[in-house]
Amino acid sequence: MTIQLNTDKNLTIHQEYDDKIQNQIKDALNRFSDLIMRLEVHLSDENGSKEGLEDKRCLLEARVAGKEPVAVTSFGANYDLAIAGALTKLKSAMETIAGKMKSH
């Protein structure tokens, strides 16, 4: 599974945080690593430089072998919460996809 991290102009990610995100994703989606060919992570701040609640967004787009891409979005007060929320949603979606693939 290839992980591609994308950010908007309001965010600069240092290597340590990039590594943390990559490891968090690999740990959460390890069970589905044979199904997910590529995972795109899009992090953005919806309000730009202005303050705001729940304005950090994480969009995860999983390219699943032989299926349409699966995309989920989560908002949080910080990027860690947004990523955790999106991972929870993606795991649920992948459970469904894996179950359907197994039954066929």
Question: What is the pLDDT averaged over residues 86-94?
Answer: 96
Predicted pLDDT at 37: 94
Model confidence band, residue 95 (pLDDT cutoffs 50, 70, 90): very high
Distance between CA atoms of residues 27 and 8, nearest Å: 25
> Which superfamily does 2-103 belong to?
Ribosome hibernation promotion factor-like (3.30.160.100)
The domain spans of the chain are 2-103
- Contact between 37 and 1 (Cβ < 8 Å): yes
Over the stretch 35-54, which tens digit does the pLDDT of each residue have?
999 999 999 988 776 776 78
Query: Read out DSSP for 11-77?
Result: ----HHHHHHHHHHHHHHHGGGTTTEEEEEEEEEETTTTS--TT-EEEEEEEEETTS--EEEEEEES
* Sheet with 36-45: strands ordered across: 2-7, 36-45, 56-64, 70-76
Q: What is the mean pLDDT of residues 42-69?
A: 86
Closest CA to 39 of 12, 66, 8, 72: 72
Which residue has better confidence, 73 or 47?
A: 73
What is the mean pLDDT of the segment spanning 79-101?
Answer: 93
Q: Has residue 104 got a pLDDT over 70?
A: no
Q: What is the pLDDT of residue 76?
A: 94
